[in-house]
A and B are shown apart, each in its own frame.
Chain A
Amino acid sequence: MRILIRDGRVIDPARGVDDLLDLFIEDGKVIRIEKGARSTEPLEASKGKGTKAARHAESALAVDRVMDATGLVVCPGLIDMHAHLRQPGREDKETIASGTMAAARGGFTTICCMPNTDPVNDTRSVTEFILDTAKREGAVQVYPVGAITKGLKGEELAEIGELVEAGCVAISDDGRPVMNAELMRRAMEYVAMFDLPIIQHSEDLHLSGRGVVHEGLVSTELGLRGIPSASEAVMVARDLLLAELTGARLHIAHVSAAESVRMIRDAKARGVRASCEVTPHHLALTEDTVRGFNANAKMNPPLRSEADRQALLEGLRDGTIDVIATDHAPHTVQEKEREFDLAPNGVIGLETALAVTLTILVAPGVLSLPQAIAKLTSEPARILTLSKGRIAEGADADLTIFDPHRDWTVDPATFASKSRNTPFAGWRLTGATVATLVGGKVVWEA
């Protein structure tokens, strides 16, 4: 199968490319990249034999399919380094099949699934089950994240060496922090042997207590128990110190508080090997979304204040925040349709992340389009040391084609995910996936 993607605006932040190009794809790889017919040479000048347009016409005859990307953006397939696929254990919320289809629909070609399944991904057999299932039923590439501690209990290290052998690309107890500082130090040292990042869900559980929302004006008004920003920030501070001590690669998941951004910025400036991610919902929403006791605005870390949101935007702009990741966390309707205190934490994001990024970051000029794409492609690839997230001759043809100008309204009923718990229902967003290719195969198309 040979595919030609013609006349798209190809943006590849990894190589600094932003041009109108044609991409030829064969056997799952990008085999040739050429200037598009309309890119540089005027049409009149390119009629003779040997010109680009003529070569282009010859090649077009040989391809099985031509995808016209005029007016569209073609970029490396998006990478989500933080998703929950719920399989094994909670297939009523999501499966590897439904979660990867949601990913494809959202333009993601590679996703990392967190280990808090049932059973926990703390052994080779669970990692292999996930990889086998993804190979058979998955629409996109899945890379598992293995547990730091057995059963995510924060007591003893999991068999991390075997998890890495089996195919885990990072190690995390996500959903829970490693509260014991000594254990976290040893985990960092141990994981560093394999040159993998250790991903921390940064939260001091004592400070969070039984909190359900950000501790601020809204928690005070609604009488909901608050989670102070310090609950995240003290853990970020601790782990940055431990990363400095151990030389390990620390990745801080879903940063939400201004204090955390500030400390990560300082640590990076001093050469600590730290990286971090932010979710689209923390970039788009604040604690005010909780008003009316909206359970789809309940997640951990919680939506914080407008000042925190501004700090996150600034952190993205100055490079303190490396990655945009969804923290896609599916829950059933009946679980979310409860008293706010009793509803589980988390929202889904795979099918809205790109459009929220374009609407909240690119349209107002917080990030340029190539910068935003980098946070969703080359940056996560760099942190996870994956040979993905770029467009090059000979590289895997993992590609996302999207219309940066198309407006659409978020209707959860149309989601490929099994779950509907999005805070963006009814939102008008700009930017929509047109096609998603994984290994040269079109896995989703509008």
Chain B
Amino acid sequence: MGLAHKDLLSIRELTSDEIRLILDTAESMKEVARRDIKKVPALRGKTMINLFYESSTRTRTSFEIAGKWLSADVINVSASVSSVTKGESLKDTGLTLQAMHPDIVVIRHPAAGAAQFLAGRLTASVINAGDGAHEHPSQALLDLFTIREKAGRLEGLKAAIIGDIAHSRVARSNIHGMHRMGIEVRVAGPRTMLPRFIERLGVEVFTNLDRAIADVDIIMMLRLQTERQQAGLFPSLREYSRLFGLTAERLKAARPDVLIMHPGPMNRGVEIAPDVADGPYSLILNQVENGLAVRMALLYLFAGSGQTG
């Protein structure tokens, strides 16, 4: 069985079987990642371009290492050094890349829909590594992988996603991905950061942290962009932290074995207290490690699908 798509733009286009295939493949990849010699020849002769229009350490590095361990030739293009600063359009950048015959292009871009825009213009597989507030499918997949690894299953679990839901591509991809795999999803945050009609995505909506985290298996904290304060979405870091910061004290409202996740980078002391981030139920570093395995699986499945000719 393979994947029926050229590109990975949104987690919504994946069936539950396809997600399972990706997670299963990632398990074998994780075994490779733990070897002494990590290189396998799966993507030898394949070219992968990391096209990053936003600064990103963890996602870019994760894709880069994943490509290298699979023996692909990996090229990083970042907005600050590319011709973007000379005013080249995304369309022309796409055409230019196309002329270089890459097999995979991983794109991170501040505009929703940018990955889809590029995918329509390239024969290469395009993997969306985050487009505006739209989607970040590889993050949701690595989150699902991490949950399955710890909990032993996905079906029937309950998760609460906490924070700035309105501006979060991680939240959107996770809502859809979790639903697909049978996880019940709650969201919570200040009313100013919960987008209209979010309940129509099938989530339960809370504005109270204690109630949101009671009785869930997973708490996923989102990063707070501090510039939202100037936009009038919250009054101060202090108040945000008092109302929505996850501390050891607040955790008493949750189940004792609840799993705690954060896509990073964290604002320690704002949305998550240091002792919680580093505590026994925190999966934050597992998420990073599993990100490698999941991205190896994605590269393998998409570049190996034969659609790139």
Establish whether residues A216 and B113, one from each chain, have CB atoms under 8 Å apart when the complex forms: no
Asked if B198 lies at the interface with its beta carbon under 8 angstroms from chain A, I say yes
Given the interface pairs A338-B90, A339-B90, the reply to whether A220 lies near B195 with Cβ below 8 Å is yes
Q: Which chain A residue shows the least CB distance to B135?
A: A223
Give the complex CA separation of A224 and B196 in angstroms: 12
The smallest C-beta distance from A228 to any residue of chain B, in angstroms, reads 8
Chain B residues whose C-beta falls within 8 Å of the C-beta of A57 in the assembled complex: none
Asked if B6 lies at the interface with its beta carbon under 8 angstroms from chain A, I say no
The smallest C-beta distance from A240 to any residue of chain B, in angstroms, reads 26
Establish whether residues A220 and B132, one from each chain, have CB atoms under 8 Å apart when the complex forms: no
Q: Which chain A residue shows the least CB distance to B12?
A: A221
Given the interface pairs A223-B132, A223-B134, A334-B89, the reply to whether A340 lies near B197 with Cβ below 8 Å is no
The smallest C-beta distance from A428 to any residue of chain B, in angstroms, reads 24
Q: What 0/1 readout, one digit per residue, does chain B (103-144) give for beta carbons within 8 Å of chain A? A: 000000111111011000000000000011111000000000
A contact residues, total (Cβ < 8 Å): 21
Establish whether residues A339 and B117, one from each chain, have CB atoms under 8 Å apart when the complex forms: yes
Given the interface pairs A293-B112, A293-B117, A340-B111, the reply to whether A220 lies near B89 with Cβ below 8 Å is no
Given the interface pairs A292-B116, A293-B117, the reply to whether A216 lies near B90 with Cβ below 8 Å is no
Chain B: interface size category: 20 to 34
Establish whether residues A226 and B196, one from each chain, have CB atoms under 8 Å apart when the complex forms: yes
The smallest C-beta distance from B105 to any residue of chain A, in angstroms, reads 15
Given the interface pairs A216-B197, A341-B111, the reply to whether A223 lies near B133 with Cβ below 8 Å is yes
Q: Which chain B residue shows the least CB distance to A335?
A: B89
Count, A-B residue pairs, CB within 8 A = 66
Give the complex CA separation of A46 and B208 in angstroms: 86
Establish whether residues A222 and B89, one from each chain, have CB atoms under 8 Å apart when the complex forms: no
Establish whether residues A341 and B132, one from each chain, have CB atoms under 8 Å apart when the complex forms: yes
Asked if A66 lies at the interface with its beta carbon under 8 angstroms from chain B, I say no
Asked if A54 lies at the interface with its beta carbon under 8 angstroms from chain B, I say no
Asked if B153 lies at the interface with its beta carbon under 8 angstroms from chain A, I say no
Chain B residues whose C-beta falls within 8 Å of the C-beta of A216 in the assembled complex: 196-197
Chain A residues whose C-beta falls within 8 Å of the C-beta of B131 in the assembled complex: 223
Chain B residues whose C-beta falls within 8 Å of the C-beta of A215 in the assembled complex: 196
Q: What 0/1 readout, one digit per residue, does chain A (223-240) give for beta carbons within 8 Å of chain B? A: 111101000000000000
Interface residues of B in 188-222 (CB under 8 A from A): 195-198, 200-201
Q: Which of B113, B167, B196 has a CB less than 8 Å from the CB of A222?
A: B113
Asked if A27 lies at the interface with its beta carbon under 8 angstroms from chain B, I say no
Chain B residues whose C-beta falls within 8 Å of the C-beta of A220 in the assembled complex: 166, 195-198, 200-201
Establish whether residues B111 and A342, one from each chain, have CB atoms under 8 Å apart when the complex forms: yes
Q: Which A positions have Cβ atoms within 8 angstroms of B?
A: 215-217, 219-226, 228, 292-293, 334, 337-342
Q: List 16 A-B contacts (CB under 8 A).
A: A215-B196, A216-B197, A220-B197, A220-B201, A221-B201, A223-B167, A223-B169, A223-B172, A224-B133, A293-B113, A334-B91, A337-B89, A337-B91, A339-B113, A339-B117, A341-B112
